[in-house]
Amino acid sequence: MISPSRPVVLITGASSGIGLELSRLFAAGGYALALAARRTAELNQLAEELKAAHGTRVTLFPLDLAQPGAARDLWDETEKANLQIEVLVNNAGVGVAGAFIDTDPLALETMVRLNMEALTMLTRHALPGMRRRGRGRILNVGSVVGYQPGGPGMAVYYATKSYVLSFSRALTSELRGTGITVTALCPGTTRTEFAGRAGLEEGRLFRWLRPMDARTVARAGYRGLHAGRAIVIPGLFNKLLAIAGELPPRQIALAVNRILLS
Ligand SMILES: NC(=O)c1ccc[n+]([C@@H]2O[C@H](COP(=O)([O-])OP(=O)(O)OC[C@H]3O[C@@H](n4cnc5c(N)ncnc54)[C@H](OP(=O)(O)O)[C@@H]3O)[C@@H](O)[C@H]2O)c1
């Protein structure tokens, strides 16, 4: 297995936004990197930058994680490359906005596969090695919307992020005492390619709730992961949003979300 002196982190969705900033932080922190996303040119450019800045070893895995069996394929590739994954960052994710009844079924399927299935199965593949070694860290990028009772106008995205939160919390409890930690990073609106891809740039959500920059969000996640924290919500306003989402009566939060997403 490669470089026991430099621990290896596998980061999905490294070609832009929060994943790209996390990659920079891990490289500066002395990790060797295994980076996955679809866009090869962006991955190559990042790899060159990180090698030049930190002498980091970077292995690229260009693939579509929304394809059936993609998590298994990616894991097999890391094993073929002899990489021992000490840290797994499940960051790749997309949002789809609009009334559920009118949403392209294929876009929904892609989102469900990427946001939940790939994250779950990569975690499943990574854990046995971590258990054998008695150590390991997992960072699951959820969202502060995972705390909300629902997102009318973005119903499936909100539900996928509630899944990430629930799944991560349960694993944190299951793995207590094993030396393996699971951290859910729950950002609020963040300046990345996400809003543009989801068609949310002009919507109230991103106009009314001032986006944080991706570097700040990534830094909070990086620190929280290394501190072994179960949940990281960057920014005071987002912490309040998380609390507000869980307060009764939940009809109020639903009504507010409906306004924000219409
Ligand atoms: N931005 C926000 O406001 C916000 C708020 C809360 C949570 N989040 C979460 O943060 C995470 C990162 O998003 P971001 O904001 O950094 O957005 P982003 O800039 O759009 O980054 C998304 C990343 O996921 C990758 N990706 C998308 N589809 C993929 C696929 N089918 N297979 C493999 N990789 C794929 C993208 O790379 P390729 O296109 O090259 O594949 C890109 O690297 C997501 O889980 C998102 O839900 C974002």
Is the pTM for the entire model greater than 0.85? yes
Q: Would you state the pLDDT for residue 163?
A: 98
Instruction: Let me know the angle formed at the C-alpha of 188 by 107 and 158, rounded to the nearest 5 degrees.
Output: 35
Contacts of 163 (CB under 8 A, 6+ apart): 115, 116, 146
| Pocket residue to mutate for ligand 1, from 12, 15, 147, 162, most atoms within 8 A of Cβ | 15
Residues with active-site annotation: 157
Q: How far is the CA of 249 from the centre of ligand 1 (A)?
A: 32
For the chain, what percentages of helix, strand and coil (3-state, to nearest 5) are there? Answer: 55, 15, 30
Q: What is the pLDDT of residues 231-255, one digit of tens each?
A: 999 999 999 999 999 998 999 999 9
Residue 1: the pLDDT is 46
Provide the CATH number for the domain formed by 8-260 in this structure: 3.40.50.720
Q: How far apart are CA 260 and CA 67, in angstroms?
A: 31
- Tell me how far the alpha carbon of residue 146 lies from the centroid of ligand 1, in angstroms: 16
Task: Give residue-wise pLDDT tens across range 150-159.
Answer: 999 999 999 9
